[in-house]
Structure 1
């Protein structure tokens, strides 16, 4: 008897193309239900808008009215979809094919770190207002996130919400109305902070690198100002040890590709340098050339040792088997080397700033430094100069003392 009282569902049917309608039994009466698929959640499961009535025509009318309002932009197409669900769908369905790998990686990082599982991400898309976004940004600021990080988040979220408007999910983008919070904490090292080695720290670091596998790489970084990706992309054909020059013609980026299920695979992307100005040939100190020669001899021994197992890619800096170095492992190796040298941690990029600083200290003209660094805009060079040279400028101004005897 209990089995007879259970709801009985009949096969679902279409009603004049107005979505899916099916019937159920409730209290012995026929009950009609209808649904539109209005989106998909983060797992790819469909999100549906449901309608119900004991009269089939009522369901048809409700669905027709909803569709009409939806087509005219009077209501969003989803009243249950969360921001997290939309951002995931938007990224992996709408943008995955038209974003560069590097751009997609940035957007996925924003989703993973600032949308997925967060208080803002769990809110319904249609309910998000300026106050919600503002409160979330203020919270991030209180947690120590820099204004630049929050600006980047808002930029990416604004793009996502603009497409939600195009798809009819929301009527307005409130990202444009928020006020960027000011930092309430002093971060130890902001993303844009310029840090560099003092001459004493540089010598202390170099002295500590005896027999270190990456010694030549660190020496060249300090002696050429090359970016990490440019160093990793160097091949021996780019090095002229006779004339002491290095040619920068390519760079390497390590990318993580994320699938819809969250699985991650790493790949190496070889590409032209950052800008046209980054394609350059620069002289290097003869002592740096000597270190590269020692490095080449050691690499030749490894080629003989491993034979056919060695990947002959012609890379200057590589693993013992000739493969690309994992940049994460390299930066960890660099951090450990700093620690062993008893030097406070500095970003890998600080070696590039250190190179520019030594040039300024040697009174090399700023225009020359710009070309050596591969800056497309001299303003970038000037920014480094004004950050790192206060002592030098003070010293130079003191030379005016002779005029006031």
Structure 2
């Protein structure tokens, strides 16, 4: 049976419907046309359009493109309400995986879960990890939630029950690395009294993040109660000017999560280290004179300013090479601390608080292999009674 059509457009046959939407400011009728391969197809497009308008969707929704709308959302909403480092991460995802892709040029109201799924599958075939796709999906899901709230669209096409992340996130998860006892002793016994050595010893003996470490101030050290107050973090971040050009600068910011703001024990061994740092700072102050900026920082450069944490990885790598220790990321010092706590039977809840994790589940998930080793060591009560 032949498909019934009533018009020809660009050399192709279509069925055309037109709808009157009202009058403009000059009293002229506003009409919109709908084209389909058949009458029912055109009617379906018409009904979908009218339903969206009746649901409160703006009449200009069909002029919104995914890429440009996400860009506006990031700059006008996300940038104003998140840490600069968080915005930089989100904006990087947008620039790398959305801006110049097939998704970017889809009309917002035309985006279907199948479009997103196909794009994710293609990324996986190109070698992108499941975690990368997961983070992209997280950004898109958040944006589409915003689009629904703004009445740009009716439903979020990126919900968990509609999209499947290709690959296996669990299998891709990297096993954490730790420094063994011999390596820790080499770090400790290193003859140099360098800043990077002091940072390493502080991180491994407290489990604090490197940003929390270089954000420490002398006023955070409570000698009376033998505590260290974690109240901030430092990070070299990218800020964006009005033209969205990047500029990098070391910056003090809030801790990673609410639970990251915490009090941890001041180990006796650290007191001697802090004394050495204090002595070195007094020498630096004398050399720098009036150019020294006393920001109360424990770890700072020669004139008292924040350290550039982007150089910290290189400094740590060179330090390990000097003392004959195989390279591991500086964050592994934190993993080493946590692992040692579990090996000495410190409860999971306590370790989670010391690390400043948002939940106990996060701690358990991160250190599954360590907890499993200790679980395997439990006593079979029935075998001994």
Deviation, 1:322, is 0.7
Match of 1:357 among 332, 339, 351: 339
Q: Counterpart of 2:184?
A: 202
Number of the residue aligned with 1:217: 199
CA distance in 1, matches of 2:154, 2:169: 33
Q: After TM superposition, list the pairs within 5 Å mapping 1:219-258 onto structure 2.
A: 219-240=201-222, 245-258=227-240
Q: Which has the larger radius of gyration?
A: 1
Contact 2:227 2:265 in 1 (8 A): yes
Deviation at 1:103, TM superposition (A): 4.4
1:173 is the counterpart of 2:156 = yes
Other structure's SS at 2:103 match: coil
Corresponding residue for residue 65 of structure 1 = 31
User: In 2 relative to 1, CA 118–206 (structure 1 residues): closer, same or farther, beyond 3 Å?
Assistant: farther
Question: Partner of 2:282: helix, strand, or coil?
Answer: helix
The offset of 1:265, in angstroms, is: 3.1
Structure 1 match to 2:46: none
Per the TM alignment, residue 216 of structure 1 is displaced from its structure 2 partner at its CA by 0.6
Residue aligning to 1:182: 167
SS state at 2:294 partner: coil
Question: CA separation in 2, counterparts of 1:165 and 1:98?
Answer: 19
- Verify the 8 A CA contact 1:236 1:315 in the aligned structure 2: yes
Partner residue of 2:254 out of 271, 276, 288 = 271
Contact 1:194 1:387 in 2 (8 A): no
Aligned to 2:11: none
TM-score by length of 2: 0.73
Q: Distance in 2 between matches of 1:98 and 1:347?
A: 31
Judged with a 3 Å threshold, the aligned counterparts in structure 2 of structure 1 residues 260 and 370 are, in CA distance, closer, same or farther, namely same
Provide the rounded CA distance (Å) in 1 between the counterparts of 2:116 and 2:218: 51
**1:369 alignment partner in structure 2:** 351
> How far, CA to CA, are the matches of 1:384 and 1:158 in structure 2?
25
> What's 1:147 paired with?
130
Structure 1 residue corresponding to 2:25, chosen from 17, 22, 40: 17
Out of 281, 284, 293, the position equivalent to 1:311 is 293
Deviation for aligned residue 1:133 = 0.8
Contact 1:233–1:252 at 8 Å: present in 2 too? yes
Q: Distance in 1 between matches of 2:347 and 2:332?
A: 21
CA distance change for structure 1 residues 185 and 270 in 2, over 3 Å: closer, same or farther?
closer
Q: CA deviation at 1:403?
A: 5.3
Provide Cα deviations, 1:98-120, integer angstroms capped at 9, x if missing partner: 44545433432321232122332
Could you tell me which of 126, 129, 154 is aligned with 2:112? Answer: 129
Shift of 1:237: 2.1
Is 2:274 aligned against 1:292? yes
Distance verdict in 2 for CA 1:173–1:331, change over 3 Å: same
Aligned length: 343
TM-score under structure 1 length normalisation: 0.70
Aligned to 2:14: none
* C-alpha distance after superposition, 1:197-246 (max 9, x if no partner): 22223234445572433111111101111122321221112225688643
Confirm whether residue 160 of structure 1 aligns to residue 143 of structure 2: yes
Question: Is 1:91 aligned to residue 74 of structure 2?
Answer: yes
Residue 311 of structure 1 deviates from its aligned partner by 0.8
Pairing of 1:35-74 with structure 2 (within 5 A): 61=29, 64-66=30-32, 71-72=53-54
Unpaired runs of at least 5, structure 1: 1-14, 19-56
Instruction: Name the residue aligned to 1:33.
Output: none
Compared CA separation, residues 297 and 98, structure 1 to 2 (3 A):
closer
CA drift at 1:282: 0.7
